[in-house]
Amino acid sequence: MAAEAESRIYVAGECSVCADAGAAVFMKALHDASVFFACPSCGCAWERPPQPYVVDTVDPPEKFAPAGFTFARLADISAAGLERLIRGHDVADTWDFSDAPGFSRGG
């Protein structure tokens, strides 16, 4: 059960750019363990969960994680006080950031 929880990707809602084709997933910066949000479909990232169809910014994950990033675990999200923003979760194989510079699956 614990291994299953570690392989989950937590979702905060729809991507503002991709809407229902993408998702704003919780990510963790490797340099300071801060939590931010990014969409694996379009590669955009945000400090706060975006609103679908409202494109205020189009930043890459490197803006929030200059030393790399990985999927945030539930413990990371809870430590950041953001657990209330979780709208769902999926399995880690569903979303892929392998083409994004700095992404680490192991974090």
What does the pLDDT look like over 2-45, one tens digit per residue?
Answer: 554 567 889 999 888 887 778 899 999 999 999 999 998 888 99
Rg (CA), the chain: 12
Which of the two residues, 56 and 94, has the higher pLDDT score?
A: 56
Q: Are strands 35-38 and 8-15 parallel, antiparallel or unpaired?
A: unpaired
Mean pLDDT of the residues in the chain: 85
Among 35-39, 76-80, 91-95, the minimum mean pLDDT is found in 91-95
Q: How confident is the model at residue 97 (pLDDT cuts 50, 70, 90)?
A: confident
Distance CA 65, CA 9 (A): 18
Does a structural domain hold residue 100? Answer: no
- Provide the domain count of the chain: 1
* 95 pLDDT higher than 80: no
Does a structural domain hold residue 69? Answer: yes
- pLDDT reported for residue 1: 43
Long-range contacts of 32-35 (CB under 8 A, 24+ apart): 33/76, 33/79, 34/64, 34/65, 34/80, 35/72, 35/76, 35/77, 35/80, 35/82
Does a structural domain hold residue 51? Answer: yes
Does a structural domain hold residue 102? Answer: no
Number of Cβ within a 10 Å radius of residue 101: 12
Number of Cβ within a 10 Å radius of residue 44: 22
Domain limits for position 73:
2-86
Does a structural domain hold residue 92? Answer: no
Total residues belonging to the chain: 107
Does a structural domain hold residue 17? Answer: yes
